[in-house]
Each structure stands twice: as C-alpha cells, then as structure tokens.
Structure 1
Amino acid sequence: MDLQSVVQEAVAPRPKVARPIVMVGSGGIARDAHLPAYAKAGFPVAAIVDLDREQAEALAKRFGIPYVASTIGEAVAYAPADAVFDVTVPAPALTTVLAQLPDGVPALLQKPMGETLAEATEILRLCRTKGLTAAVNFQLRWAPNMLAARALHATGALGEIHDMEVKISTHQPWELWSFLATAPRLEILYHSIHYVDLVRSWFGNPLGVWAKTVRSPTTPDLAATKSVIVLDYGDSKRVFITTNHSHGFHPKRQESFVQWQGMDGAMRAQMGVNLDYPKGKPDTFEHILRGDTEWSESPVRGNWFPDAFMGSMGSLQAFVQGEATMLPTSVEDAIDTMRTVEAAYLSSERGGVALPELGW
C-alpha cells in the first residue's frame, strides 16, 4: 500500500453543489478564516450582517458579498430559501441570534457552544425546539494534516493507538481578542477546547477528566492561560493535553503538535498557526512505522487556518443535502465536548489529592 498517496488524498466532505451562505458577524474570525476558506472552496456567500455596518461593508467589498444587513431580520428577509447561516458571533450572543433564525434552517455555530455547560444546554434546547440542523465549528477535525492522520490510521499500519498527546508551548497574543480581557474562563474554553474535541473524535467520551488550569505571571490580568488536561480512557491509553501560551522566547523551542502512538507506528501533526500567530507557519505531517530508520514527512493540502473551515461548512452542507450520512460536529455531539470542558474546570477547581499523612 502506498501510504504517501493515502495521506495526500485525504479530503474533507463537501457538497456537490454548494448552498448560499449568510454570514452573521463580521469580526476577525470571519475575516481571517471563514471568508477566505469559502472563497478558496468556491462556496457562495449571499449576505453578511453585523451591527457594525461599516465593518460588514468592508468585508463585503473585499470578498464580493452582494448584500449587507444591519439586523438579523433584514438578513433573514433577504436570504435565499436554501441558505445556510454561518453564525460567527461571540458565545454569549448565540442564543439571541439563534432565536431570530427561521425554524428548520441549517446553521454553523462558532465555538465555543456557550461559555458554560448551562449555556450549551440552552443552545442545544433551542436548536431542538426550532428544528435547526446545527453544527459547531470545531474545525480542527477537518485540518488537512488531521485528515491525513485519520486516513493513515484507517489503513491499519499503525496498529492500535494507545497514546495521544497534544503539546502547545508558544506565545499567544491574547490582546488580539479584546473580549477575552474580562472573560472568567479563557484557555480551556477558547483554545484547548479544540484539542478536547479532537481527542473525542478519536476515542469518544472519556471516563473522567483530571485538569489544572492556571494564570501566567506574564498576563496577570487575564484568566488562566496555561493548562494540563488528562483524559481517562482506561488503563491502556495515555491521553493528555498540555498548553503554555506564554513561552515567548526564541521560537526554536516553541512547540505545537498532536502525536499519536500505536503498536506498530507513530505519527505527528504540527499545527503551524500557533507558531508566530497570526501569521503562523506551515502545518506538517510525518509518521514512522516499526522497522523504519527515520520519520517520513508527507505533503499536506493546506493548513488549519483557513482550510479546515472549508470542512466545517462542507460537512454541514453535504449532510443537509443528503450526500453525507453523518454530521460529526452536530450540536448533539458538541454538547459532549462542552461536558468534557466543564469537567476539566470542575477538576481544576476541586484540586488534586492531598498528600497522605505518615502513619506515625
């Protein structure tokens, strides 16, 4: 079997004919990821809506969007009958926006699915009540190198996977997101949630979670920005996530990767966007099989940003049109990612086991 071909041919699902998209929100994530991805994929964007009309008009001009609205009502009135709503507003605004969408429409929601499990539960209830076909934009699953990892594993070449680790040791310019300055929850909810969701996509829900998330003295005014999360998948798997976003020294020792180890081989995917954010470095993918003398690197078709965002929207559209049988990041699945995140915060708050007293 030609493993290089298997890796290079891994692609995200997409519809045969793309539906028009209505963008709700014109912030940085829409500008830097959603809209560039849709332009690259050839997904048509019919309208964009934002309270900041000037900002929305600037994006409309840049990406050739024909209609700009200032309210959800205007956007809904203009939207084609088969439109997909891409909701890129901050988490606290999700319920307000969803309540204004027509019943039964498809919608892609920006992560996180609320800021707490209670908010996520309300979002799930609202989606069910309105009959929305809704997915959450946990797009890391669709990054080209993550698709490559999935494809390689599917060949059986690695054997049973018994170890998965995510390591981030970089400098993150949190000041780019002004709303995070007052966020009570930060690192796990807004960053490591991607890795929690990725782990779940491989192994399902964990039996339990141990975690500690702490502040960094380099950003004392922010909530916790460094975390360790251990996910319990029994006594034969080691699965953990470790993140330090305040390693602002020479990039030689900065790291951003996911690594899997199987009985017969291992693979590693570098997430370049975390290195020198927001410019980033290229994503990479490499693997080694038992008996090999060195790691083999395979070319990948693009990077997490913006290419993975094609997968999030493409997956939703393919499902809505009956061209895919599963919607992997549906709100019904995403609620379990939110439950896992909540468990991590609860574990961090409750603390570890105190040292036992000596018996004398």
Structure 2
Amino acid sequence: MAPHPPPELDPHPGYSAEMPATPRPIVLVGAGGIVRDAHLPAYAKAGFEVASITDLVPERARELAGRYDIGAVHESVADAVRSAPADAVYDVALPPEAHVEVLEQLPDGAAVLLQKPLGNHLAEGVRTREVCRRKGLVAAVNTQLRFAPYVVAARELIAAGTIGELYDMEVRISVRTPWEMFPYVLDLDRLEINMHSVHYLDLVRSFLGDPTGVHAVTVRHPEKSHANSRSDIALSYGERPIRVVVSTNHDHHYGPRHEESFVKWEGTRGAVRAQLGLLLDYPRGGEDSLELVTDDRLDDGWRPVPFEGSWFPDAFIGSMAVVQRFLEGSILSLPTGVEDVFRTMAVVEAAYTDAARGGTPPPYDQ
C-alpha cells in the first residue's frame, strides 16, 4: 500500500472557495464589533440571509438590523430560538465564557458556528465540547484564517506540488496591536496565544495536522498591565524534517518600516509568502499580497499570485459556507468542527504549559 500523502498535499475539500447550493438562514447571537466589521459584511457579500439578530444591548442589534435589512431583532436568545426558522444556522459571535449558556438554549441537533477561541483555558473548551456532544449539535468554530483568500490560493499551490516537499512554515507578526479596542481582553490572565496566535496555530494544523510537541515562550510588556503580548512557539512533527515557528510581537510601535505580518511556506522546489495586510496599521490595514518563487524560475524572483478579497470580510464567508456545505451534504465532513478545533485549543494549552516551565536550564556546572 502506498503511503498516505502529507496533509498539505491532500487538503480537505471544504477548504475550496465553493459556496453552498442551498444556503440556510442565519440567526446571529451577538452584535459586537466583529459582527459589524466582518460577519455582516461577509454575509451581505455572499448573499446569505440573516433572519434575525439578538444582543444584550438591543440598540446595537437594532442599528445593525437597520443597516443590513435584517428581518427581526430579539430581546433574548430564547426569543430568537422560538422564532428561528427550523433550518437556521446559529452564528454565536460571543466570547468563550458565554458559549455554554447560549448553547444550552439551542434546540438539540441545531447547527451552530461559534466564535474562536473555544476557551481562555482548556477547561472551558472541554465544557463547550461536552454540551455540543450531549445536545448533538452540528457545531463548528469560526477559524476563519483557514479561508482567507490568499490562504486558499496558497493551499492550492502547495497541494499541486508547486513548491515540492514542504520543509518550513513560518508565521511572523511584528505590529502594534491596539488591544484597547477590545476592552474585555485587558483583564484576561492569558492574552496573546489564546486570542491571537490561536489563528496561526490553527492555520498550521489545517495544513500539517496535529503536532507531536509544542515549545513556547510568551511574555508581557514591562510597562503594560495586560497579560502576555509577545510569543515564540515552535511545533514538532515527530520525525518529519520540518520547522514550524509562530513568532508574534504585538508591542512594535516604531512605525511601518519594519512591521511584519506574513505566513511563509518553503519547499524543496520553491516558496510561497502571504502578507496579512489586515494586521498592518490595524484596523485600517495595509496591503495584502501573495508571492511565489520556484527553482525553475529563480531569475524571475518572487512573482505575484492573483487572488480576490481579504481576511476581513471574505474569510468569514468561507467559515459559514463550509458549515452550510456540510449541512447540505456537498462535503462529507466538517473540517472546522468543535472536535477538530478543540485540538487547536490543546496546542494553545501546551504552549502556555511549556512557557510556564521556563525551558531547559543549560548544564553550566558540568
């Protein structure tokens, strides 16, 4: 029997940019900034119907309903559930500490898309997973970076063997992140990995599968009161000769010249580099790009690869579309299901655990 190809050469069919043939109506739970800036613009662009919206601040929900022609605004999750279409997909765009309470109110067997992360600590993810299992929910997580247009294009190139055998995957972020735009995160005891690097760890898993080991350093800024804001995370893949590194610095406030925001894949015959423009001068964002270099055309250098769209809002179309495609049966499994993304949270937990150990002391006295 021939060996199974590595996962990046055999990607899940849900990672294509295809749309569902029979979209279902969406019930939005939450009307915060991410819904305003990403979910609703994405659904409008895709032509998805948003049947209703609810939020703890009804005025916020009413404002968005008026802007996006949403049919109903509800005062509570219970009201939204009572009035929901039988085939609705519940889009729960809330912090992880609110997941369980909302999930308990959904009908057994309902389809739901949760916001990442599944928890600030692994125990919260365990509770969320337990509720999803007990209620038989078709539950996915909005790990939308998997569906960013430049990632979709890069995945196609890599799966086609364009850059040969993958031996290096690097994510590097060095930007000023305005955490103050998200006040609720400022009091968390964990910040960077569970709120930001979770995107990149999840992206790595979507290409390479589950790592066998996690090595990490994560630290806070000496003059800021919030938790960790800079991390280096290295992932091991058993005997496979591949280097995987996620390096983030959210405290770089020295201007655009040396800001960095990219994912790079290197292989035995070439390399692909995606620039994540959204994080440059966030929330305005900088330029997105995707470039390819191959050994057979080294004199041509890095060549642009065309794609359409950006992380916000287009990747949010993919997150919802893959759930709907699974529900209609056009794909047979759900790559972003809670059971899968729980494994991303396990990698996050391992990174915090390893960082707390402080590394291996050098044998200075030998």
Does residue 15 of the first structure (1) align with residue 27 of the second (2)? no
Residue among 308, 317, 320 paired with 2:315: 308
Corresponding residue for residue 341 of structure 1: 348
Q: Tell me, in whole angstroms, the C-alpha distance in 2 between the residues paired with 1:347 and 1:241.
A: 15
Instruction: Provide, for residues 186-211 of structure 1, a one-character-per-residue CA deviation record: whole Å limited to 9, x for no partner.
Output: 00000000000000111111111000
Distance 1:342 1:36 in 2: 32
Q: What letter matches 1:358 in structure 2?
A: D
Instruction: Encode CA deviations 1:243-288: one digit per residue, 9 max, x unaligned.
Output: 0011111202101000000000100011111001011123211110
1:4-50 CA distances to partner (integer Å, 9 max, x unpaired)?
Answer: xxxxxx95232112110000000001110101000000001000011
Residues 131-170 of structure 1, C-alpha deviations (whole Å, 9 max, x = no match) = 1000001000000000011100121121110100000000
Alpha-carbon distance in 2 for matches of 1:142, 1:295: 23
- Work out whether residues 256 and 271 of structure 1, in 8 Å CA contact, stay in contact via their aligned partners in 2: yes
Partner of 2:194: 189
The one-letter amino acid of 1:141's match is: R
Name the aligned partner's letter for residue 204 of structure 2. V
Residue of structure 2 in register with 1:327 after alignment: 334
Task: Kindly report the root-mean-square deviation, in angstroms, between the aligned alpha carbons of the 2 structures.
Answer: 1.1
Tell me what 1:175 maps to: 180
CA contact (8 A) 1:120 1:338 kept: yes
Is the contact made by 2:104 and 2:131 (CA closer than 8 Å) also made in structure 1?
Answer: yes
Residue 231 (structure 1) aligns with: 235
What is the percentage of aligned positions where both structures have the same residue?
Answer: 52
| Displacement after TM superposition at 1:84 (Å) | 0.3
**Partner residue of 2:147 out of 132, 142, 145:** 142
Correspondence for 1:162 = 167
The letter for the 2-side match of 1:340 is V
Please say if residues 209 and 229 of structure 1, whose CA atoms lie closer than 8 Å, have aligned partners that are also in contact.
Answer: yes
Q: Judge conservation of contact 1:34–1:309 (CA < 8 Å) in 2.
A: yes
Tell me the distance in 2 between the aligned counterparts of 1:93 and 1:155. 41
**Aligned partners of 2:109 and 2:18: how far apart in 1?**
22
1:36 aligned onto 2:65: no
Q: Distance in 2 between matches of 1:252 and 1:64?
A: 42
| Matched letter for residue 223 of structure 1 | A
Read off the aligned partner of 1:99 and give its amino acid letter: E
* Partner residue of 2:72 out of 67, 77, 88: 67
* Counterpart position of 2:6: none
Distance 1:66 1:203 in 2: 42
- Give 1:69's aligned amino acid: H
* Structure 1 residues 50-89: aligned runs within 5 Å: 50-89=55-94
- 2:185, 2:150 → 1: CA distance? 29
TM-score by length of 1: 0.95
Q: Which residue of 2 aligns with 1:5?
A: none
Q: Could you tell me how far apart the structure 1 residues matched to 2:119 and 2:365 are?
A: 45
Rounded Cα–Cα distance in structure 2 between residues aligned with 1:217 and 1:42 = 47
Q: Which residue of 1 aligns with 2:284?
A: 279
CA distance, structure 2, for counterparts of residue 110 and residue 299 of structure 1: 29
Matched, 1:201 2:201: no
Aligned partners of 1:67 and 1:171: how far apart in 2?
38
**1:114 aligned to which of 106, 111, 119:** 119
User: Which AA in structure 1 matches 2:119?
Assistant: G
Letter in structure 1 aligned against 2:168: D
Shift in Å, 1:291 = 3.0
**Do the aligned partners of 1:48 and 1:60 also contact (CA within 8 Å) in 2?**
yes
Gaps spanning 5+ residues in structure 2: where? 1-14
Of 261, 271, 290, 1:256 maps to 261
Secondary structure at the residue paired with 1:291? helix
- Please, what TM-score do these two structures have when normalized by structure 2? 0.94
Q: Which SS does the other structure have where 2:309 is aligned?
A: coil
Matches within 5 A, 1:119-138: 119-138=124-143
- Structure 1, residues 276-319: CA drift from partner, whole Å, max 9, x if none? 10111232111100032211112211001110000000000000
Q: Deviations over 1:218-249 (max 9, x none)?
A: 5x111000000000113511001000011111
Distance 1:281 1:135 in 2: 30
